[in-house]
Structures are given as C-alpha cells and as structure tokens.
Chain A
Amino acid sequence: SYVLTQPPSVSVAPGKTATITCGGDSIGSKNVHWYQQRPGQAPVVVIYYDSDRPSGIPERFSGSNSGNTATLTISRVEAGDEADYYCQVWDRSSDHYVFGAGTKVTVL
C-alpha cells in the first residue's frame, strides 16, 4: 500500500517560516491535500490539489508538489498555527485515500 512520510514534529519561532514535507513514491504525479487539526477540533483543509487554498485560509499557507516530496509552507507563523498537519492523497492502485502520520507544529 502507498505510504506517506511526514516528520513527527516541526518547531518554528513566531514570524518565521514552517516547512512540512510529505514524502511518497512519485507523489508528484498525485494530487496532495493538506489538513490542519487543532487540539479537540475536527480537521480543516488548508491546501487542496497541491497548491490551491480554500477561501478563508490565509495566504500565508502555500503548497507545492514535485518528484517524491510535497511541501506545505506556512509563512509568518503565528501562535494560532500551532496544530497537527496531515497530508493526503488518493492512491489509484489500491482505490484508497491515504493520510500521512501527521506533523505537530509547535510555535516557540
């Protein structure tokens, strides 16, 4: 089955840039979605189809996808960005959606 690999944690100072990676075999050929989950809340999509941003999501959130790595970038990090972030793809070979294990972003 298809595996998505994320770093368990990322720490970043306020105002700096957080970069969260999502690795997978030829992930660049797939559509990647990213979710933010704050403690005690349901997930919210922050980037879909690699780099599109839903309405209401700040422009500070951006995404890219190429080769074997997709990336979620959070610019000018704020305290409210502290959350778990998950990447997701649809794996056509297994007809499964797949989530990465998640990355906990800590704002120092």
Chain B
Amino acid sequence: EVQLLESGGGLIQPGGSLRLSCAASGFTFGNYAMNWVRQAPGKGLEWVSVITGSGSGTYYADSVKGRFTVSRDNSKNTLFLQMKSLRAEDTAIYYCAKCMSTSGWPSFDPWGQGTLVTVSS
C-alpha cells in the first residue's frame, strides 16, 4: 500500500524558516515526481511545487518561488520542502502528493494526510 506521511509543521513567526518532510513507502519512490499542495483554512487547493523523480527538475508556484525549495532523498524515500521568509499568507495545511504515473503531467494519487503550518507572531 502506498503511504505518504508528512511532518515538520508547526507554529512559526513571520520571517522564519521551516522544513517539511514527507516519508514515502509502498512504491519505487525515485520513479515518480512528487508534489506539495497547500490549503489555507477554509480555502481551496493551491499547488506549491513539483520535483521530478531524479530530482533534476523543480517547478514552483509564483507565490513561493525564491522562498521555498523542494528536494528529495531517494535513498531515504523522503521528500522535503524548505520554507524561508514565511508570511502569514503561507498559513495552510501542506500536503505531499505522488504523481499517478511516471510520464507526462498526471494527476496526484495518493495524498498524505497533511501537516499544518501556522505563521503568526
């Protein structure tokens, strides 16, 4: 069974940094692109970033480009999101999600349960 487990969320002051992790199991991790998607309280889904299976390609939403960095350790089946210069508007549940197939720009399946990041003084 494919499982994704996020961790690292919490309360952080504006301007601070935080690193999220997503531990993956049940599939050949390095074969699949992985994503971060966030959801502010009571709001819709916002795609944050995608990283290719090898880690050689990364893409970011305009709202986080230059502040967030996605990376992965395929030897440890773990995805990361380093977040810097955090703002109140970054407050959200952060989900990691696996691309459904190994080619193209597929849907996301499955998703983790999410980790809550709260940016507040």
Instruction: Identify the A interface with B (CB < 8 A).
Output: 1, 31, 33, 35, 37, 42-45, 48-49, 54, 84, 86, 88, 90, 95-102
Contact = CB atoms under 8 A, between A and B. Distances in A.
Interface stretch (B9-17, B23-31, B67-75, B109-117): B109-117
Given A42-B114, A96-B61, A48 B44 contact: no
Contacts of B95: 42-43
Interface of B: 35, 37, 44-47, 50, 59, 61-62, 95, 97, 100, 104-114
Contact of A43 (B59, B105, B111): B111
B105 A54 contact: no
A57 to B, nearest CB: 11
A96 B59 contact: yes
B47 A31 contact: no
A99 B47 CA distance: 7
Contacts of A42: 95, 110-114
B46 A99 contact: yes
A96 to B, nearest CB: 6
Contact of B105 (A86, A97, A100): A97
B113 A48 contact: no
Contacts of A100: 44
